[in-house]
Structure 1
Amino acid sequence: MYKVIVADDEPAIRQGLLKIVDWEALGFCVVGDVSNGIKTVALHQALSPELIVIDIRMPRMDGLQAIREIRKIDGDCQFLILSGYADFAYAKQAIEMNVSGYVLKPIDVEEFREELLRIRAKLDRLSGRAKLSEFHADALREELILKLIAADPADAQELESELVPLISFAGKSKQILLVEAEDISQEGLANLESVKTRWLEAAETEGLGYAFQTGPYIGFLLKEDLNRPGAKNEWTRLLQDSCGLKPGFTAAAGRIVYELADIRQSYEDALGLLKNRFLLAGGQIHMVKESVLSHIATESNEHAPPDLEALSTKLCYMLDLGRCEGVAETLEEAGGALVAYDSSETAIKTGLAKMLSVTLSKLAALHQSIDIQDYAPLIAELYQHTHYDRVMNAAHSQLAELARRLGGNGNLPVVKQVMDFIQRHYHGNLKLETMAEIYNYNKGYMGRMFKQHTGDSFHTFLDKVRIQQAIRLLREGHKVYEVSELVGYPNVDYFHCKFKKYVGAPPSSIKGAPPKAKTISLETS
């Protein structure tokens, strides 16, 4: 097929041109559309189209200027000019630059189609019969490959016999590679369709495989399997070069087979991998023997739903203590739990967003310096990424920075850090096991170290902090049952017992004045 670029500063006209004509039936493939002459020149250099349908009046550089620039390096490219101005001066300049046709706006569909047919005939004459024959051979080969990957085993042998004369392999092995293009928008580069076209052309030019298009994927029947030394890197480079600066693709390769009749198996393997595209890293070729993520559940709901509240609390603790490694580990734990329960892109993103929102709300209640609105862009960003690893990297990057900012007491002894932490989180369900896990200590060792430093066990120290806070709240006029809940004792009777143990009087004795009871010391030994 002949490549076409459409250049017009009106998006509606560009889109209309793509729809009103069956380009493929006329032997053309639209590989890109642009809005001004500068982009037209750049895209011509990138794609070398045989035809450019171009408007006269465009911003920055008009159509005639663009044609002059292209004619300096390409005397064969055909131009079909569009213009809303029936001005002979334009037509005269166009004739001098050897354009193929001139169509007035509003465009008459039949007239436009006739111009394309005339230009197609001219291109056929210029390219000669050899190119036309090659075009038919390529089309037939692609058709047979598509039939073979969809065929019943009973029909595969007959299709194989038709395909054999059109292909050759370096060895006996055969393998299918499927590639899905991502939405990339770089100034001066083509859209997704042009990226796909460059893949097709590059594979043919470098002799690496036979290309076909199936649904949203570009497929390749490889001439040599990807286990050949350097083959995987070679294909990765080819795909990346065609996408520009960004990865722009996800690729998967099926199993290696040795008969053409079996390439359906390789195709289905690759297709199965791409169904989990979100869990695959972008810009890489994934092999069917690789696991997508080690913790993917084979069946949805095999695992219990992740406890997002507990994970949020744990992440909050890690951030509050400035434990960057702990932040990374907690995020990984949360991601693994979400994937194991429901590996769909929507479920994972929604779960992570909910967990982060709860975590940041908890932190904002503790630190006046944290405004949860400052992290709204992070939550929104999670939904924009197309791959799991990029979602996790985005979350970790910002949370690690927050942990470093909050972890101002990171140079203090561990016991001192734990004491300060209890003062801030006394109302939570704090356990010695939790603190030991945060610092990667043995529970018993952490307990002995804490008592040696403070003179109290972990739980005794926690009780004393809670009772101190309870006295403060009672003096402020809060009800006993309210205070019990606020300081971390959901059971009010248990609160009564603890309070009397440490204060020597019931909570109801506190009426806004210091109690005549023993004091509670939190000084360390």
Structure 2
Amino acid sequence: MDANKNITLLIADDEAAIRNGLSTVVPWEQFGITIVGTAEDGREAYEIIKTCNPDIVITDIRMPGMDGLQLMEQVKKEKLQTNFIILSGYGDFKYAQKAIQLGAKNYFLKPIKIDELVTEIRQQKEEILQSNHIHSYSAYLNVKSEPKEKFLKRLLKNEFYSYEEIGDEIRRLELKLNDSPFRVMVFSIQGKEDGEQEDEFQQINYLMDIVSEELQETRYEFLISSSNELLTIIHTLQPGDLPVNYHFLAIRCLKRVNRDSTMDLTIGIGKEGATLTDCSNSYKTALMCLSYSFYETDHKIFDESILCTAPPPAAANQMDYNNLMYSITMNRTEQIREFCREYFSKLLYVPMPPPNYIRGMCIYLITDIQKELGSEKEFSQAEVVLPMNSIRTFEELKAYMEDFLVACAGKQGAGENGPKNQIIQAAEYYIKSHMGEKILAKDVARHVNLSDVYFTSYFKLKTGVNFRDYVIRIKMEHAKGLMERKPDMPVAEVAAAIGYDDYRSFYRVFKQNTGVSPSDYNRNSGKHCDLERQI
């Protein structure tokens, strides 16, 4: 892919308003992104993907005919390379979990926040350009203009349709590749924050020299994909039909690096490909294997044996969120941290599940909790997802999750140890300031940034009274106050002042709560006021 060429985007959703809105509201061209089409279902999207091979696909999970998950499965089966962003309705967890397993880069709950979606797509654009070796360091090495590097980038991107095309380029460029089995190996240097550009340049070239010496006469080609990553396409058979022992090769390279430098090197070995048309698949497998360095084991070499193939249990995320939401609301730091420890323990259904599964489940948890607490405004999707995807290790992710949820708690208020519970205080203020209206739990819940269900249960827990009874009690107290202060005020006006359009409903509720009718109370309150004036 040329550095000046736009990233391509496809939008698939059965709702015309969403399709048209996403394609027209955002000035995609300004961001270097070209819309190649829109689709109203998975089948139409699949045909466009086959024809246009878009870099990114935004798709709804639920669509008629072929849904978003079936679309992802079909694209994966056909070995078409594209990044998927999923749009999901709230409550679609089982679908979102499946999308994570299929490799979705991210997902967004409807209604969509356009700015967060654009931020995610622009971030993916940068990652795609980097994965195709188009970034500042490659420009520094001036590899962008080299025919060999361009060819290898296209090979990794799966941009050739047949081996005939690949063979023509190999002969034209006189490369040491042929139509025989191979594997891609990825040599990754773990970056240091204070690393100098020149040091990185020296490291990658030093590493390339070591690997070249170890490969000797084997058929292979190099590609420097970034300042800290070297890719090698190595054919399985050496001269004399001797097979390459990839694991032994990796061990030899590691020993030399550890002996002669302080470089922190990890190596990923991709699956074997029959012909170079499978190069992209082998490369992706190597990167997937490397991702297991997330668990900080003693491993420095990662091959297919490290990959977790066991699907997560159906109940992987069936934990009681009510306790967590209560702890966040009450700012109970230790309980939040205890929940996180238990949550991560349950995610480890095997010793090392797929790292993208762990990250995906953490993103889902935070998104779900934010929606439940009504705190999306406090932390944007970009503030959650981008740092999480850059976290390198399991322990760092655990610490991030704990700190993030504790920060959410800090933004919820003083908690139960404060002078007065701020949630209940805010609810009371709302009720009293909307006395002349019909007060619904969902309106107060929205005001205090909680969900309807959680708010009503929390309100009863903290006050000992269910929400409806509390509102009635406050309204009746207000009605009594009005009648005491204004004994000549007609009962119908009193009813209207506290949000009752129907006098009969007010009459019935008032008598149930006070034991007397509004008229009797009004007359008695008038006598009481006359007595006070005489005194």
What TM-score do you get using the length of structure 2 for normalisation? Answer: 0.34
Q: Give the structure with higher Rg (CA).
A: 1
What TM-score do you get using the length of structure 1 for normalisation? Answer: 0.34
